[in-house]
A and B are shown apart, each in its own frame.
Chain A
């Protein structure tokens, strides 16, 4: 029990590290996922191809491999950044593939006729997407996007293996100090639960607010 109280600052640093990774990587994932989803439904063939390749490569690569590729690969091309930033890039790009597919399935729930009606009125592709299709798609993608971001929060643990400060990584220090491994992990689990349950709660609220307006 006293493993938490005596090492509060260590836990706190790890917790904040995971929160930071989650928030930044989520922002990257949402932005890129949104862009790629727009690419995948675009009338321009080369955009569609780019979106498809992006999703298939990232979704089908093990995340650990992707971390290796980013952390060890990019410096070879002269791109040297803090490890934390690399971790955000790897996590964000990986998760963007899942966000893209969730958004696209939401877009597919909007009847094609509505897009046609918008275009027949002279609205451009981006106007059609932003004013007609996405607001309706948004409602049906709240739950899957929530799940994806929860997965992202947990996946951030891999960054610990690349010496980025995050929650799971604190166990190494604590077990070296001789603390009971069970309690160490229980408090780590509680830390993750705080983050993931917060994400759940936010998405539940969003679903309540927007999900039923149809």
Chain B
């Protein structure tokens, strides 16, 4: 179904010392697609997500974004990262700056926007994630769910071509998970290309075009959510689903 590929991984291999964390990964994410990556811990799904903007370097294979191979360290890589938004498990807001400044900083530094212009866009985005009234607070004064929504706004401020989510709700209290998922659902409806590493099966069912199931550094299944959840092919996926869907 991926007619217009935005992210392409070809024969990607990565090691941590002797541990072969990504083994011959081939994955294509089409423009406008929402791909959810699930799998047991240690399966390499977070690492996979982090290789896509080269926060993790790979040993062999190739990764290209919108037809461009990922550059080595340097200006080229920085420019490409600006096109790839990323949301982390631990939010990673800049602790010394206000919420507004968090969203504006990279717009000013990377996109070269004037402060007023950046702040105006930041306020629009904060409004979109429901946090317009929190603009002048420091990150530590917000709840986890609020911080994560600021982090999403911060990534969106760069107008990225694709958004990577690395377990965005795993560090949140259960009652705050929904407010973050709702923002992500809205993004998906707006046509944003997304790669989401998550344990939220509900989100995978409702928002994903494809589910990629990983185990032991390999992609084991890559299918539509309906297909995957009702009729998993591999024993590994059956075992995983039986454990998480029981309760």
Contact = CB atoms under 8 A, between A and B. Distances in A.
Interface in B54-101: 55, 73, 75, 78-86, 88, 90-96
A117 B88 contact: yes
A122 B95 contact: no
Given A117-B86, A125-B73, 5 more contacts: A113-B88, A114-B94, A121-B82, A124-B75, A136-B96
Given A113-B90, A136-B95, A121 B106 contact: yes
Contact of B109 (A44, A116, A123): A123
Interface string A13-55: 0000000000000000000000000000001100000000000
Interface of B: 53, 55, 73, 75, 78-86, 88, 90-96, 105-106, 109-110, 140, 151, 154-155, 158
A120 interface: yes
B76 to A, nearest CB: 11
A116 B78 contact: no
Given A122-B106, A123-B110, A111 B96 contact: no
Instruction: Give the interface size bracket for A toward B.
Output: 20 to 34
A131 B205 CA distance: 40
A114 B154 CA distance: 13
Contact of A113 (B79, B84, B92, B109): B92
Given A114-B94, A135-B96, A121 B73 contact: no
B238 to A, nearest CB: 35
Contacts of A116: 55, 88, 92
Contacts of B80: 122
Given A116-B88, A121-B154, A43 B94 contact: no
Secondary structure type dominating chain A contacts: helix
Interface of A: 43-44, 111, 113-114, 116-125, 127, 131-132, 135-136, 213-214
A124 B78 contact: yes
Given A43-B73, A111-B92, A118 B106 contact: yes
Given A118-B106, A122-B78, A131-B109, A44 B73 contact: yes
Contacts of B105: 121, 123, 131-132
B53 A120 contact: yes
Contacts of B78: 119, 122-124
